[in-house]
Amino acid sequence: MESTFLSLSNTFIFIAFLILLIALLPLGISIKSKSESKKYEKLAIWMIVIAFILELSYFVMRWLATGHAPVSNMYEFIAMFSIMLIGGFLITYHYFKTKVFGLFAIPVSLLLLGYGSLFSTDVQPLIPALQSNWLAIHVITVTLSYGILSMSAVAGLIYLIKAIPADENSWRARWLEAVMIAILTVVMYMVTTVFMQNIIGYNDEFYYTDQQGQQVIAEYHLPSLINYNDAIPVEHVGNNEYEPADHFHLGIDLPPVIKAHTLNTVVWSIIIGLITYGIVRLIIRKRLFSLVKPLTKKADLALMDEIGYRSVIIGFPLFALGGIFFAAIWAQMAWSRFWGWDPKETWAFITFMFYTIFLHLRLNRGYEGEKSAWLAVGGFILILFNLIAINLIVAGLHSYA
């Protein structure tokens, strides 16, 4: 029965992915078309609703298969984040009828699902620290807040793309282009990882000593530019047996407090992303955000500003509740202390303070319009940094996440 539930959950989320991808077509047509705009818009929204129901069904089926809330590893957490982002879009659309949001929110959700699929989807027993009802309470609240806060970033990005001329020689145009480069880098990271791991089958293994003094194996699916101190290249010869091998390594070594094999992938993605950006710029001969600027033509800047603000007003208290308050209670139960400045806890505090400052500047210093949009985009960058860099690169008590 468990295998049936697991199979159903995988099928549901895969079908949801395809429906969301296809829904971009009628949604785009509804923005471009004048005569049949409503028809295509209705079709797209119904497709997104069906996809969201399938994603929720994935969550329920996987919960039944595992016996616990499916938010205990990177794949499950990212999938939940993606689901909540679609939920955030549907809530935003219900109140403001902002269909242009879908052309930005859905690709981000699809990218998250694609990124999450790079991690193991296997069901594994919970480690002792995760065997608590607070797992579901804490993580679901955090991902819900992420989904709502992401809407403020989408509104901010739409605002900036429409408000900033693509040919303007200014710092704000350069910073917006940097945001687009970051998005392109994430896409290239996914493409490169899938290509090297699943198509080329590149796999180098290194034997090293982790923070706990245990000897473990690190797998590299891209040539080693960065590695662990005293890492030994090995080759798997069967069961748990390895023998010395000759793998490429540039020679940059780091202590095990940094997950060098993950950082290596991030460095490669930045290199490949910048090369790809250079090629695209040579072809189009203009800034990258100019390609999506036509999609924002009908966007109401005042409405985007209002949605960005309201999203933070709702999402910030939820994050404070799930990411700080509930997390502290769970930390006391799991590790006998409410707070320990673990990397994940520290970054949660930084994120909390960022949105606190956001609201202070908005309410008391008049940071509206473009200034507010930049802050909203910056907040989403903090969330992604927490998701990718803190979870995967810095070793800590939350490394299992």
Task: Express each pLDDT in 100-133 by its tens digit.
Answer: 888 889 998 998 888 787 777 777 776 666 667 7
Average pLDDT over residues 85-96: 91
* pTM for this prediction: 0.87
Q: What pLDDT is attached to residue 398? A: 56
For residues 71 and 80, the model is more confident at 80
User: Residue 12 above 80 pLDDT?
Assistant: yes
Average pLDDT over residues 96-103: 87
Average pLDDT over residues 254-277: 87
pLDDT band, residue 5 (cuts 50/70/90): confident
Average pLDDT over residues 217-239: 87
Which of 112-121, 131-140, 216-225, 331-340 is the least confident region?
331-340
Q: What pLDDT is attached to residue 317? A: 94
Which of 233-242, 330-339, 386-395 is the least confident region?
386-395
Identity of the highest mean pLDDT range in 7-16, 114-123, 198-207: 7-16
pLDDT band, residue 303 (cuts 50/70/90): very high
pLDDT band, residue 16 (cuts 50/70/90): very high
User: Residue 4 above 90 pLDDT?
Assistant: no
Query: Rounded to an integer, what distance in angstroms lies between the CA atom of residue 77 and that of residue 232?
Result: 32
Summarize pLDDT for 352-375 with one digit per residue, the tens.
999 999 999 999 988 899 999 999
Task: Supply the mean pLDDT for the chain.
Answer: 86
User: Residue 289 above 80 pLDDT?
Assistant: yes
Which of 33-47, 111-125, 161-175, 178-192 is the least confident region?
111-125
Q: What pLDDT is attached to residue 133? A: 78
